Amino acid sequence: MLTGTVVNYYTHCQRQCWLFYHNLNLEDNSEDVRIGKVLHELKKQGKEEIALDGIKLDKLTAEYVTEIKKSDADLAAAKAQLEFYLVVLHDKGIIRKGRLECLEKNKQSKSVHTLMLTEGEIEERKVQYRQIEEFLNRELPPPPIRKPICKKCAYYEYCFI
């Protein structure tokens, strides 16, 4: 089953998406991530998330579904993820607009982005999601492609060793 993260990664890097989907998740290597996870585990109470069918929503109001990102490093991937939420909610009869909040803005001029999908666009996305599912069922991940984002990627060592 697709999740928001998988859709985000598919847009970001297909190889990363495949590896992540098959649980070859190397994210934990980063010390910051590990500590973040630990602290999260240790003081679990606090912020509640709404979780349904592969989506975990940061916030849902009468008008918007909101996704909060640490930075705007890959806006296209974050938007794809948010659109996925809109489509899943739409199928449950929950019609909302999307609102993306980036805590740090480095690349874009604004930190809040809103988006909407028309009925036609929703159908297009669904076709695309089926393609992603087929992609994930492939035997092998696509080979790595040297990109600027690789330098900071948790898979760098695995990809280029």
Contact residues for another protein (CB under 8 A)? 22-26, 28-29, 31, 34-35, 38-39, 41-42, 140-141, 156-158, 160-161
Residue from 8, 11, 15, 74 in contact with ligand SF4 (CB under 6 A)? 15
Give me the least distance between CB of 155 and another protein, in Å please. Answer: 10
Strand partners, 52: 55
Contact 88, 100 (CB under 8 A): no
Give me the least distance between CB of 86 and another protein, in Å please. Answer: 30
DSSP state of 28: G
Per-residue contact flags (x/-) with ligand SF4 for residues 116 to 155, judged by CB under 6 A:
----------------------------xx-x-xx--x-x
Which of 52, 134, 121, 135 lies closest to 87 in space, CA to CA? Answer: 121
Stretch that binds ligand SF4, among 13-21, 71-79, 89-97, 118-126 (CB under 6 A): 13-21
Give me the least distance between CB of 156 and another protein, in Å please. Answer: 8
3-class DSSP state for residue 65? strand
**Residue 4 and residue 156: Cα distance in Å, rounded?**
22
For residue 56, how many C-alpha atoms fall within 13 Å in the half-sphere facing its CB? 8
152 CB neighbour count, 10 Å cutoff: 9
For residues 102-121, b (16+ Cβ closer than 10 Å) or e, as one string? beeeeeeeeeebeeebeeee
Give me the least distance between CB of 8 and ligand SF4, in Å please. Answer: 13
**Residue 105 and residue 119: Cα distance in Å, rounded?**
31
Partner that binds at residue 16, options another protein, ligand SF4, none, CB closer than 5 to 8 Å by kind? ligand SF4
Partner that binds at residue 147, options another protein, ligand SF4, none, CB closer than 5 to 8 Å by kind? ligand SF4
Contact residues for ligand SF4 (CB under 6 A)? 13, 15-16, 144-145, 147, 149-150, 153, 155-156, 159
